[in-house]
A = this chain, B = another copy of it.
């Protein structure tokens, strides 16, 4: 766990910050992936897709899911296929465009997601348990500036609208 050994520059502040950011994310992400696998026999991308749908009761189109999850369309098809097979999501027609679908959580999928989300939140609260509320909000605000900067220079920024903030 010494990713931060990568810092070696003469102006190392940004580099050190990046390595620490990466270390923190990997530590937490590894825990989340392990728990999702062991407790719910699922994966982070599957959980991610379901959580996108949880916020959109009317469903989302494939290309919208692809944009939000930051992966290409073929992958969304694959993950969606799995979840459809398990009865957790469904493809619904879009009136007026027979090429498109709305992907939506089924009642079973919503129940399943709610169970996972409750546990997931507890893991995350634990992960940030050493910070008080002011520190959490300070971090959130600073990372907001980082997010904005890197959304603008993202490789396909020409096609994508800027990232949306949620209330």
Question: Distance (Å) between the CB of A58 and the closest chain B CB?
Answer: 14
A51–B150 contact, CB under 8 A?
Answer: no
- Bound together, the chains give a CA A9 to CA B144 distance in angstroms of 20
In-complex Cβ contact of A143 among B7, B20, B153 (8 A): B20
Of the listed stretches A77-85, A90-98, A132-140, chain B binds: A132-140
Nearest B residue to A9 via CB reads: B121
In this assembly, does A75 line the interface, its C-beta being within 8 Å of a C-beta of chain B? no
Question: Which residues of A, 123-167, contact B by the 8 Å Cβ criterion?
Answer: 124-131, 133, 135-140, 142-151, 153-155, 160, 163-166
Chain A, interface size category, equals 35 or more
A17–B128 contact, CB under 8 A?
Answer: yes
In-complex Cβ contact of A15 among B1, B56, B124 (8 A): B124
Question: What are 15 A-to-B residue pairs whose CB atoms are below 8 Å?
Answer: A1-B154, A1-B160, A2-B67, A3-B48, A4-B166, A9-B117, A11-B121, A14-B121, A18-B127, A21-B21, A22-B29, A24-B150, A129-B149, A131-B142, A139-B143
